[in-house]
C-alpha cells in the first residue's frame, strides 16, 4: 500500500473517535468509552450474515454498540469490505462511543482479509529471529486492517502448543512449543500492530496450548487439567509478556482449568478474570469473549444468560458471532434487564 492510500485509510480509522493519538483504543480507558462506562448494547459485538449489513445493524450502531466482527462470508474483496466499514463508521459518529471493527487476522491459514500476514504463527516462531519476524507479521496484519478501515485485530494467539498436530498446531496458530519464543514473537506482533493504530488481542487466556486436536470449545466442553504451577510457569508466561508489551485486549478461552476454577470456563470465572488476569497479572485493558454461541457453554443456556454470567465474571465485551443481529439484541436486552 502506497503512502497516499495508507493516509486515506488512517483517516477513516481516525474518524472513529475516543481513540489514542495513533487511532487505537486508548489504554488509559479500559472500557474504551468517551464518557459513561459500557452498559447494555455497548458491551456487545454484533455480527451479520452475507455481504450487506442489514438496516437493523445500522440502527443499533447509531444508538451505540460495542463493535462489529467480520468473517469470510462478509468479505469478497478489499474494496468491498472497506466500503462497508466506512458506512458503519459513519453511522457511529453520533453515538458517542467507539465503534470497534473486529476481525481475526492471525496470518497463514487464519485470516479473513486480503493481504498479509503471509506466514503462519508457527512459521514466524521458526525464524532465526522470532521477535523481528513477529514484528513484521504484526505490521502486515495492521496494514490489512487499515486498508479495510478496521481497528481491532483478534490476534495474536499466545498459546504454547504441546505436540505436533494438536488444537493450536493443526492450523499453525501457535508460535512455538517454547514459551520464550511465543512471548518474544507475540509481544513483537502486539507492539508493531498497536504502533500503527490497530488494537491487538492476546488469546486465549490462560492458554489452549495443551488442548488436543479434537478439543475445540466451539463444539463442546474442554477441560485442561494442568497443575496451577504449570499453567503459571508455561501457559501464562506469554500473556505476562503481552501485558508488559501493552496489549489492549485479552480474550479468555472457554475451556475449564480445574486447578484455577473447577466449576467455570475461564471466560465465565471471576476467580480467573478478576482474581488472576486483573489481580495477579495486572491487566487493565479490555476483556473480550470468544464466541458466545460456543458449544462449550451449553450448560449456561440462552445467549442472554451467557452474556450476564460473563459480565458478572469480569468480561467487558461479548462476541456475538452467530451472524445474526438478533443474537446481539438478546445479549443486550438481558444485560439491560440485569442492570449491566
Q: Which fold has domain 3-15+101-294+308-319?
A: TIM Barrel (3.20.20)
Distance CA 106, CA 154 (A): 8
The whole-angstrom separation of Cα 223 and Cα 296 is: 10
Kindly state the cell numbers that stand for 194: 498497536
**Segments making up each domain of the chain, as ranges:** 3-15+101-294+308-319
CA atoms within 13 A on the CB side of 242: 36
pLDDT tens across 306-318, in order?
Answer: 999 999 999 999 9
Q: How far apart are CA 215 and CA 146, in angstroms?
A: 33
Looking at the predicted structure, is the pLDDT value of residue 206 above 70?
yes
Phi first, then psi, for residue 4 (nearest 5°) are -65, -40
Q: The pTM is what?
A: 0.91
Question: Do 82 and 70 touch, CB atoms closer than 8 A?
Answer: no
Give yes or no for a contact between 151 and 24, defined as CB atoms under 8 angstroms apart: yes
Angle at CA 27, nearest 5°, toward 22 and 28? 115
Q: Is 270 exposed, middle or buried (0-12, 13-18, 19+ CB in 10 A)?
A: middle
| Residue 5: C-alpha distances to residues 10, 146, 148 (Å) | 9, 10, 11
- CA separation for the pair 107, 116 (Å, rounded): 7
- The share of the chain scoring above pLDDT 90, in percent, equals 87
Using 50, 70 and 90 to split pLDDT, how confident is the model at 10? very low
Q: What is the mean pLDDT of residues 144-157?
A: 98
Show Cβ contacts of residue 194 under 8 Å, excluding neighbours closer than 6 positions: 22, 24, 200, 246, 247, 248
* Res 254 pLDDT > 60: yes
Residue 170: its pLDDT value, please? 97
Amino acid at each position: 500500500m502506497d503512502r497516499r492510500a495508507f493516509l486515506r485509510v488512517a483517516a477513516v480509522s481516525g474518524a472513529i473517535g475516543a481513540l489514542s493519538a495513533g487511532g487505537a483504543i486508548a489504554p488509559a480507558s479500559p472500557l474504551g468509552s468517551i464518557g459513561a462506562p459500557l452498559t447494555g448494547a455497548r458491551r456487545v459485538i454484533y455480527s451479520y450474515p452475507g455481504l450487506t449489513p442489514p438496516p437493523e445493524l445500522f440502527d443499533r450502531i447509531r444508538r451505540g454498540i460495542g463493535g462489529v466482527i467480520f468473517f469470510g462470508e462478509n468479505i469478497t474483496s478489499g474494496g468491498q469490505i472497506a466500503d462497508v466499514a466506512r458506512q458503519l463508521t459513519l453511522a457511529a459518529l453520533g453515538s458517542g462511543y467507539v465503534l470497534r471493527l473486529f476481525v481475526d487476522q492471525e496470518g497463514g491459514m487464519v485470516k479473513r482479509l486480503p493481504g498479509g500476514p503471509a506466514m503462519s504463527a508457527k512459521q514466524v516462531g521458526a525464524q532465526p529471529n522470532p521477535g523481528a519476524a513477529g514484528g513484521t507479521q504484526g505490521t502486515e496484519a495492521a496494514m490489512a486492517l487499515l486498508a479495510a478501515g478496521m481497528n481491532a485485530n483478534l490476534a495474536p494467539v499466545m498459546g504454547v502448543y504441546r505436540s505436533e498436530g494438536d488444537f493450536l498446531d493443526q492450523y499453525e496458530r501457535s508460535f512455538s512449543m517454547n514459551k520464550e519464543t511465543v512471548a518474544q514473537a507475540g509481544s513483537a506482533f502486539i507492539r508493531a500492530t498497536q504502533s500503527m493504530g490497530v488494537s491487538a488481542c492476546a488469546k486465549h487466556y490462560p492458554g489452549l496450548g495443551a488442548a488436543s486436536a479434537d478439543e475445540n470449545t466451539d463444539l463442546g466442553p474442554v477441560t485442561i487439567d494442568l497443575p496451577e504451577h504449570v499453567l503459571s510457569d508455561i501457559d501464562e508466561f506469554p500473556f505476562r509478556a503481552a501485558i508488559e508489551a501493552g496489549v489492549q485486549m485479552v480474550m479468555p478461552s472457554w475451556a475449564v482449568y480445574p486447578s484455577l476454577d473447577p466449576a467455570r470456563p475461564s471466560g465465565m470465572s471471576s476467580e480467573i478474570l478478576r482474581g488472576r488476569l486483573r489481580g495477579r497479572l495486572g491487566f487493565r485493558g479490555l476483556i473480550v469473549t470468544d464466541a458466545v454461541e460456543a458449544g462449550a457453554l451449553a450448560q449456561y443456556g440462552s445467549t442472554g444468560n451467557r452474556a450476564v454470567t460473563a459480565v458478572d465474571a469480569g468480561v467487558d465485551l461479548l462476541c456475538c458471532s452467530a451472524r445474526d443481529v438478533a443474537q446481539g439484541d438478546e445479549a443486550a436486552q438481558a444485560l439491560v434487564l440485569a442492570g449491566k
